[in-house]
Copies of this chain bind each other. A is one copy, B any other.
Amino acid sequence: MHKANGRSRGTYHAFVAIWSDIPRPTVRRLSLYLRELERIAAQGTTTTSSSSMAQSLGVTDVQVRRDLGCLGQTGKPGVGYQVAPLTHRIREALSLNRSWNVIIVGAGRIGRALMAYPSFAGLGFKIVVAVDCDASVVGTTVAGTEVKHLDNLPSLVREHEIDLAVLAVPHDVAQGIAEQIIDAGIDGILNFTPATLHVPVPVERIDLSRSLEQLAFEVAAFRNQQPDQDVAATAS
Contacts and interface: CB of A to CB of B under 8 A. Distances in A.
Contacts of A231: 1-3, 182, 200-201
Contacts of A117: 109-110, 208
Contacts of A234: 200
Interface string A1-35: 11101000100000010011000000110111011
Given A94-B213, A109-B116, A112-B109, A230 B2 contact: yes
A112 B120 CA distance: 19
A154 interface: no
Interface in A41-69: 56-58
B58 A198 contact: yes
A190 interface: yes
Interface size class of chain A, counting residues whose CB lies under 8 Å from the partner chain: 35 or more
A114 interface: yes
A196 B116 contact: no
Contacts of A93: 217
A204 B214 contact: yes
Interface string A125-164: 1000000000000000000000000000000000000011
